[in-house]
Each structure stands twice: as C-alpha cells, then as structure tokens.
C-alpha cells in the first residue's frame, strides 16, 4: 500500500485537480481533508466538463471511493446541488462517503462571512464569501454542528436553536442587520442530511482499515500552503491547514503518509488580498494571466500573477514535507524572452531566504531574481523531459536543485495526455 498527499505549494489554483485526477488512476480511495466549497476545479473527461467543489475528483471513477474527511467544512446545499449535477451528467456517485465528524456550513456562517468582510473595510481578507472562516470559528469555539448532529432531529433542533440565538444577537446588535429564522434553515438542512445519511460513516476508521489492508489512498488538499492558517500569509489566509492537515483532517497518523506531491505552477498567482512579493503589474503579468486563464473558478475574479518564488516554495516544501514536485503550466511561459525566478528577498540591506512572518517586513521585501532565457518552440505535445528546449530544462533543473526535491510530473498543457511523467510516486 502507498499513501500520497497532493498539496498546493503556492496560493491555491496550482492545478491540483489535474494532478489529483492523474494520480487517481492508481488509488482506490481519494479523500479530501480540509477546506470546503471555497475550492473549485474543472475536470475534462471524454469531452465532458465536470465542475467540482466539495466532492473529491475520484467521483468520476465508479470503481473508486471518494471520501470527505472530518477536517472539511461542508455546505450541504451546494453539495446536494453538486451531486444532482453529477447525476445528470451520468456520474455514479454512490461511492461518496462523508465523515460523521465533518462540520456543517450553515446560512448564518455565509451571512457572517459577508458582514465580517464588509466591516473590515480596507483590511478585508478577500474571502470567497462561502462561510468558511465562520464555520471553522464555530468548530474551534466548540459550538459547531457536525454531520452526525444533523442526522438526529432533536439534537439538530437543539444545537441549531442555540447557535441561531447567538448569531442573531451578533447580526442585530453588532452588525445592525436582520436576524435569521430557524424555520428557514431547519427543515431544509434536516432533509438534505437525511438524503445523505447512508453516506455518513467514521471515515478515519474506514481509511485506517483500508490502508492496513494494503489499499492505495490519495489525499487531496484544497487551497495552498501560503493560504494555510498556520504557515501562510496570516491573516490573509483561509481557516484550515492545507499543509500537514491530512493527519487531523482525515484521521490518519503522520507515519502512515508515504509521499507528498507539491503542486507548483511555473509562475505564481493569488486571489484575494495579502502579500505577494513577486507580483507583476505589467504587460508580462497580463500576458501570463491571459495565456494561463487566471480567473477564479469559484469567484471569477482576475487573479494576481507573478514570477515563481523559491522562498515561498522552500517554505512550502518544509512545512508540508513535500517529497516530489508536480510542475504545471510550463507551456504558459512559452514566448517570453526572459523568465525570472525569485531566489531571496532583500530586506534592510540583507538578502534573506526564509519567508518572514511579519507583514510589515514582507511589505519591505524586494525580490532578488535569477534570470533565465525563454523559449519560443511549442512544447504542448512533448512527451518526455529530454525533448524540452534546453532553456526550459535549465529552468527546471535550477528549481529542482534550489528546492532539493525531484519532479513527479511536468505538465505542458491542461489535458491528461500533456503530462510528462518523471517519477512514479506510487512505487
């Protein structure tokens, strides 16, 4: 048996969906361990387009188990719609299992997310407005409502009433907004809970049993390390742990994890607010944004783009134990005369290579770049590494040596067939 984690090494949107799909082939179970429907990816298969938010990408394979772990916060309405859409597209979703300990996002979390963002004014986080932060706040405050609670009518009614009383105090007294009605939430959520009931299990017990039986498991991280609540650019982060959250979020011990594939884009991108030292606000940035279709899947916002940053990547590799890199969208850089790689930051006359925790220091950091020659050749049908232009190989070699991690794959286009295999992480 082998267990592999896929984690984004930047600010999300590194193309984890494609790599998860690619690696799924050898896995029996594909499990999500954090985040919620703030994530979103599009998968193409046999000319059909599938849009996924909460459901793991393994759902497209009827012989695999898709699992939503306890560390995920679940929007039941959007999950139910997602499942309906998949049914309409002919996908068999009977193999989806949901943790009985996963916390539920309720309509008051979404309302609170919006109100909190509005009240922060210029220092807003730029969230996806999906209620993610408030749902994790309730979990940490020990007042959250879990999947298991929603299945029992009495328990659900009791905890919902308590929560709603507290939230309505906030809405009316602090935010000068309207209260929410119990009846508008209760029946609907109870009904969806009943529809999902047969899928609800102790996913940690299930995973441990399957791993001990020798099955391969793929853990699918959402967002990216720089959005991790502990290791990211706090407070401009999401409220969960993409880096290392697999143990708590799926209920499998650290030593059971064999490989960690860090997905990295050949450049950087970020949505929402927060520090981004290598951001490009020029025509090169526009070129990369258009060529790379850098617009949010969930929010449609144009993404901020910039050069690749090895200070960020080294930090990401350290905190999430990356063993292999899956480098994506190398083809987007084709046609650029020069390609830059940030190797350190200049701060107060010194060059530093560790990502600062202080936002103030970060805002004074100036990236130090190493410049590489670009290439013009179309690389989108190249099937093996040695056929890439020597300029692209130099760029890839430099990154690999700088980070001390080898490649699992290098992607030269969005399609599955445009993935150059370098080393097999399942062996």
- Contacting residues toward ligand IMP, per CB under 6 A: 11-13, 38-39, 125-128, 130, 132-133, 222-223, 227, 236, 238-239, 271-272
Tokens of 188: 């609907």
Distance in Å, CB of 359 to ligand IMP, minimum:
14
**Maximum distance among all Cα pairs of the chain, rounded to whole angstroms:** 66
Q: Smaller CB distance to ligand IMP: residue 251 or 272?
A: 272
Question: Three-class SS string for 306-373?
Answer: ECEEHHHHHHHHHHHCCCEEEEECHHHHCCCCEEEEEEEEEECCEEECCCCCCHHHHHCCEEEEEEEE
Q: How many CB atoms lie within 10 A of CB 209?
A: 11
CA nearest to 74, candidates 171, 177, 149, 179: 149
Would you state the torsion angle of the CA atoms of residues 22, 25, 31, 37, taken in this order, to the nearest 10 degrees? Answer: 40
What are the Cα distances from residue 277, in Å, to 13, 253, 378?
A: 18, 35, 30
Active site residue 41: yes
Q: How far is the CB of 346 from ligand IMP (least distance, A)?
A: 26
Q: How far is the CB of 142 from ligand IMP (least distance, A)?
A: 20
Residue 162 beta carbon to ligand IMP: minimum distance, rounded to whole angstroms: 24
Shortest Å distance, C-beta 385 to ligand IMP: 28
Among 391, 390, 371, 387, which Cα is nearest to 422's? 387
Strand blocks (E) in 46-120: 48-52, 65-68, 73-75, 96-99, 103-105
- Measured in Å, how far apart are the chain's first and last C-alpha atoms? 9
Of 109 and 167, nearer to ligand IMP (C-beta) is 109
CB of 128 to ligand IMP, least distance (A): 3
**Which DSSP helix (H) or strand (E) runs through 41?**
strand 41-45
Kindly list the distances between the CA atom of residue 417 and the CA atoms of 45, 180, 409, in Å, as whole numbers in the listed order. 11, 49, 12
**CB-based closest residue to ligand IMP:** 272
Nearest residue (CB) to ligand IMP, 222 versus 405: 222
Kindly name the residue from 21, 37, 41, 315 that is annotated as catalytic: 41
Q: Which residue number, 217 or 227, has a Cβ lying nearer to ligand IMP? A: 227
Secondary structure (3-state) at 304:
strand
Helix (H) or strand (E) holding 18, with range, is helix 16-24
Other C-beta atoms within 10 Å of 325: how many? 24
User: Which one is catalytic: 13, 138, 149, 331?
Assistant: 13
User: Nearer Cβ to ligand IMP, position 14 or 210?
Assistant: 14
Closer of 2 and 223 to ligand IMP (Cβ): 223
- 8 A C-beta contact, residue 39 and residue 82: no
Q: State the number of CA atoms in the 13 A half-sphere of 30 facing the CB.
A: 29
Is 178 part of the annotated catalytic residue set? no
Min dist. Cβ of residue 197 to ligand IMP (A): 28
Helix H or strand E segment including 259: strand 259-265
Sheet with 324-328, side-by-side order of all strands: 200-201, 96-99, 65-68, 29-32, 217-220, 3-8, 259-265, 324-328, 406-411, 419-421
Complex with ligand IMP: residue 12 or 356, whichever CB lies closer: 12
Residue nearer to ligand IMP on the CB measure, 28 or 265? 265
Catalytic residue IDs: 13, 41
């Amino acid at each position: 048996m082998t267990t592999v984690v896929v984690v984004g090494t930047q600010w999300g949107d590194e193309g984890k969906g494609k790599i998860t799909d690619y690696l799924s082939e050898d896995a029996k179970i594909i499990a999500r361990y954090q985040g919620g429907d703030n994530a979103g990816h599009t998968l193409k298969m046999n000319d059909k387009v599938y849009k996924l938010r909460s459901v793991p990408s393994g759902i497209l394979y009827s012989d695999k188990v898709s699992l939503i772990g306890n560390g995920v916060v679940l929007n039941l309405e959007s999950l139910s719609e997602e499942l309906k859409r998949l049914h309409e597209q002919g996908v068999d979703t009977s193999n989806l299992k949901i943790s009985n300990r996963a916390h539920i996002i309720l309509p008051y979390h979404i309302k609170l997310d919006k109100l909190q963002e509005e009240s922060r004014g210029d220092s807003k986080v730029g969230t996806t407005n999906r209620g993610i932060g408030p749902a994790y706040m309730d979990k940490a405050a020990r007042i959250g409502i879990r999947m298991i609670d929603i299945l029992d009518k009495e328990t659900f009614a009791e905890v919902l009433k308590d929560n709603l009383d507290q939230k309505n105090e906030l809405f009316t007294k602090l935010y000068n907004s309207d209260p929410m009605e119990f009846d508008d939430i209760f029946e609907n959520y109870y009904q969806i809970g009943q529809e999902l009931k047969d899928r609800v299990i102790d996913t940690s017990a299930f995973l441990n049993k399957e791993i001990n039986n020798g099955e391969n498991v793929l853990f699918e991280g959402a967002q990216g390390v720089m959005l991790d609540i502990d290791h990211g650019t706090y407070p401009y982060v999401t409220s969960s742990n993409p880096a290392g959250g697999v143990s708590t979020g799926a209920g499998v011990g650290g030593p059971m994890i064999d490989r960690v594939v860090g997905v990295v884009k050949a450049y950087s991108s970020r949505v929402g607010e927060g520090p981004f030292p290598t951001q490009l606000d020029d025509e090169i940035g526009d070129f990369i944004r258009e060529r790379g279709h850098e617009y949010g899947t969930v929010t449609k916002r144009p993404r901020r783009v910039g050069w690749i940053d090895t200070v960020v990547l080294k930090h990401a590799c350290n905190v999430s134990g990356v063993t292999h890199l899956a480098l994506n969208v190398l083809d987007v850089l084709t046609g650029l005369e020069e390609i830059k790689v940030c190797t350190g930051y200049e701060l107060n006359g010194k060059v530093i290579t560790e990502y600062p925790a202080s936002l103030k220091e970060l805002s004074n950091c100036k990236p130090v770049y190493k410049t590489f020659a670009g290439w013009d050749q179309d690389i989108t049908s190249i099937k093996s590494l040695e056929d890439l232009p020597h300029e692209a190989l130099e760029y890839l070699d430099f990154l690999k040596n700088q980070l001390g991690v080898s490649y699992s794959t290098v992607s030269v286009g969005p399609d599955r067939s445009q993935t150059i295999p370098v080393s097999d992480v399942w062996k």
